[in-house]
Structure 1
């Protein structure tokens, strides 16, 4: 098999492993990111990650933690084909001579190049996923706002409404149909700039740190004899570095992608950044950081382990 085909198959297996392990954490992250700042005197819908898990399971069952998984699962082959294949081709371009391993600096560059390419697939996929994941918390926030403005007589009815998850979309295809009707094909690429601002430095950090940790554990550039435990550790650390380096950008991306098309709250990435800072301070840029970090370590460890095992089995 050619190297591109091997990267395609190995990346797909790694992507599926990452998705299955990490999606529930991602759902909680998006719910925390997308909940608006509470009105004066009111508590936020979710007090934290565990509260978001409890409310989601109570309202939607365990399946609610996997809401929005259809879109990334359906595109995981294409996503990882681009990510790992472009990274593999970048390695070929950057390599000084055949068979010589890339330096850690070159691994950072290869990861950044893969991040540019994958952004164009990640943006529409993330948009569908985020709008599915966030619809419950957004609907409840709207109900809470209605309660605050409608007066005492409407309190009981509005509270009952707030406790119910209002389902606007039946699935990723339904989301895509609504987006296309509202904003055309361009609507699917809403948030492309912050997506790229996340994927380029994030993948540079992830692949670069992954290679650096492997070399540290192996005691040199030859990492071919590393055990599975070392690969898991390197993948987990690499994934954690991805999110540590780009998390505020991911928050901006999420709020822009769930924003209304007809009456948007944000005019762009900079406007979203400023409004989040003004209303919630720096901590607003780190909403959902705990679940993101809790997800990144096992999910990326699973991804890299599955990739390495599949790649080595293909020869």
Structure 2
């Protein structure tokens, strides 16, 4: 088993959170709340009402859990890939086919949902809670926020919705992350092949950065429609319950807002994905080189 991949994925994922979290908050708000007129209106509204801290609501939960989920994803991917190589070619060192990358990525995306779903629900609930932070403690505040932090949010969800409330939207998350991670790892390896100079086994660091950024952008381009549904299902519970499941959420969203609702946040997702996954893959490859 390749334990180095678990460690490298953990560090890369954690660093990626810091790079992309503010844009992730904006994306979640756009996907789940209709009163924003567009990207810049959303950014301005968050800053005006909640200041800079509003862009980092719920960040402590992803920082503490993304390292685990990324470890699971990258570790599952590498070990699954080795098993496929061993099964199909008789050696773990054999050159994988594109299908091998795709299937390993599919397994990685599916595996990390089990770990990531509770943290993602908490993150989305905190991101869609629009009251400023001072409302929690300020004696002059007219409105008390429902969730007073990640642990309080998690405890409240379990108390009100049961343990399975932490897995609200997990089916949509599985439908999103399985195909998107398959695309993610496949695209990364294809770009690495294209960018590797003749006579070398790996691309230069500039090639790794470009391949990582492109892989993230392609994966999020595919994932965005189901990401909208996932976010809406996860946010459902902060107020009045609106959706009965994945299919009901899809039909209601399409009927009320048209087909373009499934592409809310597409540009933002792709813009965020490029720098985030440059950092993730560059860190991943660097840590692998440092670990014997």
Taking structure 1 as the reference length, the TM-score comes to 0.84
The C-alpha deviation readout for 1:55-106, integer Å capped at 9, x for no partner, is 1112111111111111111112321221111111101111121322322221
Extract unaligned runs of 5+ from structure 2: 132-140
Q: Give the 5 Å matches for 1:81-92.
A: 81-92=71-82
Pick one of 30, 33, 36 that aligns with 1:35.
33
- From 64, 69, 86, the equivalent of 1:74 is 64
Q: Is the 8 A contact 1:136 1:166 kept in 2?
A: no
How many matched pairs?
Answer: 279
Secondary structure of the corresponding residue to residue 136 of structure 1: coil
Counterpart CA distance in 2 for 1:92 and 1:301 is 24
Q: Is residue 278 from structure 1 mapped to residue 276 from structure 2 by the alignment?
A: no
Contact 1:251 1:287 survives alignment (8 Å): yes
Alpha-carbon offset, residue 196 of structure 1:
0.3
- Counterpart of 2:93? 99
Runs of 4+ that moved beyond 6 A = none
Contact 1:16–1:73 (Cα < 8 Å) also in 2? yes
2:50 — aligned with what? 60
* Residues 50/80 of structure 1: CA separation in 2 closer, same or farther (3 Å cut): same
Cα distance change on mapping 1:221 and 1:89 into 2, 3 Å = farther
Deviations 1:199-258 (A, max 9, x none): 10000000000000100111679642x111111110011101111112110000000111
Match of 2:39 among 42, 49, 54: 49
Q: What CA distance in whole angstroms lies between the structure 1 residues aligned with 2:234 and 2:211?
A: 31
Gaps of 5+ in 1: 37-44, 138-160
Equivalents in 1 of 2:43, 2:238: separation in Å? 28
Distance 1:312 1:93, change over 3 A: same
Which of the pair has the greater relative contact order for Cα pairs under 8 Å at 6+ separation? 1
**2:252, 2:92 → 1: CA distance?**
50
User: CA distance change for structure 1 residues 206 and 220 in 2, over 3 Å: closer, same or farther?
Assistant: farther
Give the aligned partner of residue 271 of structure 2.
Answer: 294
1:26-82 residue CA offsets vs partner (Å, 9 max, x unmatched): 00000000113xxxxxxxx32211221111112111111111111111112321221
- Native 8 Å contact 2:26 2:42 kept in 1: yes
Counterpart residue number, 1:3: 2
Select the residue among 21, 24, 30 that pairs with 1:23.
21
Greater shift, 21-30 or 48-57, is seen at 48-57
- Give the structure-2-normalised TM-score: 0.90
Q: Map 1:257-272 to 2 at 5 A.
A: 257-260=234-237, 263-272=240-249
For 2:112, the equivalent position in structure 1 comes to 118
Distance, in Å, in 2 between the alignment partners of 1:166 and 1:254 is 23
Q: Which residue of 2 aligns with 1:182?
A: 160
Q: Which has the larger radius of gyration?
A: 1
CA distance in 1, matches of 2:193, 2:22: 31
- Determine helix, strand or coil for the equivalent of 1:267: coil
Q: What secondary structure sits across from 2:94 in the alignment?
A: coil
The answer to whether the 8 Å contact 1:182/1:262 transfers is: no
Relative to structure 1, is the Cα distance of residues 128 and 221 closer, same or farther in structure 2, using a 3 angstrom cutoff? Answer: farther
Task: Indicate if the aligned counterparts of 1:33 and 1:255 stay in contact, CA closer than 8 A.
Answer: yes
Shift in CA distance, 220/90, structure 1 to aligned 2, threshold 3 Å: farther
1:239 aligns with 2:239: no
SS in 2 for 1:167: coil
- Taking the TM superposition and a 5 Å limit, the aligned residue runs for 1:181-220 are 181-218=159-196
Residues 21 and 262 from structure 1, CA distance in 2 versus in 1: closer, same or farther, beyond 3 angstroms?
closer
The answer to whether the 8 A contact 1:101-1:221 is kept is no
